[in-house]
Structure 1
Amino acid sequence: MAKRTMTDRLFLVADIGGTNTRVALGSGDGVDLNSVRKFKNAEHADLETILRAYLDDAGAPALAATCIAMAGPVRDNLGTMTNLNWTIDARTIAPITGGPVTVLNDLPAQGYAIDILPETAFTPLRQGAENGGGSRLVVGLGTGFNISTVVETDAGPIATPAEAGHVSLPVETTEDLELATYLRAHFGFAALEDALSGRGLSNLHAWHSGSHSRLPSDTIMARLADGDADAAKAMASFARLLGIGVGNLALTVLPYGGIYLCGGMARAVAPHLMDNGFETAFQNKGRFGGLLKQFGISVINDDFAALHGCFAYLSQASA
């Protein structure tokens, strides 16, 4: 940790994904990147075990507050992970960390990070109109799919929670209907994240290839780089459906402050989106297609963005 003054408050921040949990300390101007540690979830019984180990290694520092970002719905500082059999409860964390504990969905955590990340943390996909700000839409593509809307207020930004990955898959063509029927047969319901996530890309590849087994998304991306035809079809479907989905969300939110894609899958597929129909699908909204041209789209390429967002949330809340 960097040297702290007596007036600096020390915060603990954590980001729980489906596979890994990242934990860090922050004070003063932000998260100390030297303090970040990554834990494999499969090797630990619960979050409390991880936090005890982290704080023991850090010398049991006195904490002013803690903020946890998790992939799953949160209510009253209590949430159950969507893709991991963990329940995150501020009441069981507080005795370990001391001080108040806030539990956020991971997409609002990404939203709170936008204002404090450097320009180098963003890769533009398309430019929007120069409009002086406004609401922002954060779209998370990782193990699952979700969004957050960031609204500006006099007290600072408020990033709202959602579970948008579980809305119905958009169906515009005969092929879309066939895909939805395929997903419904396998999962009981054709959800957006069944096509637009890491496992979504696996589903798309299995559907196009006629395979009964599902390849990991990183294997499909490697095959795409090697020119594999089924991988290319999966990516084309992914890009077009993502364009439709993000376009739908943009008309719902009107994000004049920009659209931000985040997560491991977002970073992986970003170089392939524009060449695979994303832009056309995004703007294909009839007489409102022109409105969508006003919304810029960028990719957040900082893997620690949720940690920075948790820190920003605590700093704003305790100001």
Structure 2
Amino acid sequence: MKQYLALDVGGTKTHIALFTLSAAAELKIHKEKKYKTQDAQGLAEMLMDFHPDMSDIEAISIAIAGPVIDDEVQLTNVSWKVEKKQLVEATGVSHIYLLNDLEASAYGIPYMPESDLHHIFESEKVIPGNAAVIAPGTGLGEAGLYWDGKHFHPFATEGGHCDFSPRDKTDVSLLIFLQHKYGHVSWERLVSGMGIVNIFDFLRISVDYDLDPELEATMLQGDIAANVSKAAMDGEQVAVDTMRLFIRFLAIESANMALKFKSTGGLYIGGGIVPKVWNPTYQEMFLEHFFDVGRMEALLRCMNVTIILNPISVLFGAAHYISPGKLPKA
């Protein structure tokens, strides 16, 4: 049976898997390994460490956090570049495909079992049409799926880098705070792991919270976003308010995407953050702000909203992108 490699290359980690796909598109992973992306000099180094003998590999599908242009990708949050030509030379595998990570995730959605999906809103009036995927993680990924009447056709976007749009005085103050830090302020600066940290930093210096100094010092060590989400679960007020703003901004940008794509085929929320932190309070808060779009509320209520629970959805989609008999043109 032919073997394939699938990769999910993110700003924090790179996940590589060796897999086979049956004629019925059933995915079987035979081995896998995760690498720290920043620790490697490039992708070829990780590939050859994972599978030194590439003679049995039919094709490699690489999902990357960044825009693919002329078979090259400069990772959004990593210094080195990925080039198809260089990888073909290093591995000897001629069928290598580069695609955006959220585009890859979109390719996997039609194959996901119900156990991988958590429906947070199910419309009473489902209208077939385009779909959208938004995924807060290290950064903010966004992708669409064009519906041709019979099939979905995923496509990549860099919508997470569009300008953040404030709605109230707190949002404006937050925007000004981040403009001093970054200059241009995109949605990714708020709806992502770094976004949680940015919101937390803004609140703890602009609002008089009674935050224990030792707890604050602990929260600022290691994975700050994870520390904040945990502190929110424990009831620490600044962390609670941080996560409330994060969920609110996620809802607003999700609604923006859904309206722009007219995604009556559904809105899917992926990434590593949401499945870990989701709870009934966040769900109620999300839906309140998601539907707060004035005259277009009725349209949004035609769209199912679903959280992708599969932690390897990008890898899963990259694998299905090169399913047997469906190899894309090089």
TM-score by length of 1: 0.91
Percent identity, aligned pairs only, is 26
Matching residue of 2:209? none
Matching residue of 1:54? 50
Structure 1: where are the runs of 5+ without partners? none
Matching residue of 1:166? 161
How far residue 235 of structure 1 moved from its aligned partner, in angstroms, is: 1.0
Could you list the per-position Cα deviations for residues 158-200 of structure 1 after superposition, in whole angstroms to 9, with x for gaps in the alignment? 2111111111112111111111111111111221111110010
Matching residue of 2:12? 19
Against the structure 1 CA distance between its residues 132 and 283, is the aligned structure 2 distance closer, same or farther, given a 3 Å change threshold? closer
Matching residue of 2:71? 77
- Please state whether the residue corresponding to 1:264 is helix, strand or coil: coil
- Please state whether the residue corresponding to 2:273 is helix, strand or coil: helix
Q: Does the aligned pair in 1 maintain the 2:3–2:58 contact within 8 Å?
A: yes
Of 115, 130, 134, which aligns to 1:120? 115
CA–CA separation in structure 2 for the residues paired with 1:90 and 1:304: 23
Q: Does the aligned pair in 2 maintain the 1:145–1:196 contact within 8 Å?
A: yes
Structure 2: where are the runs of 5+ without partners? 207-215
CA–CA separation in structure 2 for the residues paired with 1:76 and 1:155: 29
Could you list the per-position Cα deviations for residues 193-250 of structure 1 after superposition, in whole angstroms to 9, with x for gaps in the alignment? 1111001001111111118998410000111111100001111111111111111111
CA–CA separation in structure 1 for the residues paired with 2:127 and 2:185: 38
Whether 1:40 and 2:36 are equivalent positions in the alignment is yes
Of 200, 218, 227, which aligns to 2:195? 200
2:295 corresponds to which letter in structure 1?
Answer: R
Against the structure 1 CA distance between its residues 42 and 235, is the aligned structure 2 distance closer, same or farther, given a 3 Å change threshold? same
Matching residue of 2:145? 150
Whether 1:224 and 2:232 are equivalent positions in the alignment is yes
CA–CA separation in structure 2 for the residues paired with 1:156 and 1:279: 28
Whether 1:91 and 2:85 are equivalent positions in the alignment is yes
Matching residue of 1:270? 278
CA–CA separation in structure 2 for the residues paired with 1:288 and 1:112: 28
Provide the aligned length of Structure 1 versus Structure 2. 309
CA–CA separation in structure 2 for the residues paired with 1:169 and 1:73: 20
Q: Does the aligned pair in 2 maintain the 1:179–1:207 contact within 8 Å?
A: yes
Q: Does the aligned pair in 2 maintain the 1:55–1:61 contact within 8 Å?
A: no
Of 314, 317, 326, which aligns to 1:309? 317
Against the structure 1 CA distance between its residues 102 and 129, is the aligned structure 2 distance closer, same or farther, given a 3 Å change threshold? farther
- Please state whether the residue corresponding to 2:203 is helix, strand or coil: helix
CA–CA separation in structure 2 for the residues paired with 1:155 and 1:241: 33
Name whichever of 100-109 and 61-70 sits farther off.
Answer: 61-70
CA–CA separation in structure 2 for the residues paired with 1:36 and 1:135: 33
How far residue 156 of structure 1 moved from its aligned partner, in angstroms, is: 4.7
Q: Does the aligned pair in 2 maintain the 1:71–1:106 contact within 8 Å?
A: yes
CA–CA separation in structure 2 for the residues paired with 1:152 and 1:312: 18
Query: What is the alpha-carbon root mean square deviation over aligned residues?
Result: 2.1
Could you list the per-position Cα deviations for residues 88-137 of structure 1 after superposition, in whole angstroms to 9, with x for gaps in the alignment? 11111112151211100100000000011211111111112453632110
1:75 corresponds to which letter in structure 2?
Answer: I
Of 128, 135, 149, which aligns to 1:133? 128
1:137 corresponds to which letter in structure 2?
Answer: A
Matching residue of 2:248? 240
TM-score by length of 2: 0.88
Q: Does the aligned pair in 1 maintain the 2:11–2:38 contact within 8 Å?
A: no
Q: Does the aligned pair in 2 maintain the 1:107–1:138 contact within 8 Å?
A: yes
CA–CA separation in structure 2 for the residues paired with 1:53 and 1:267: 31
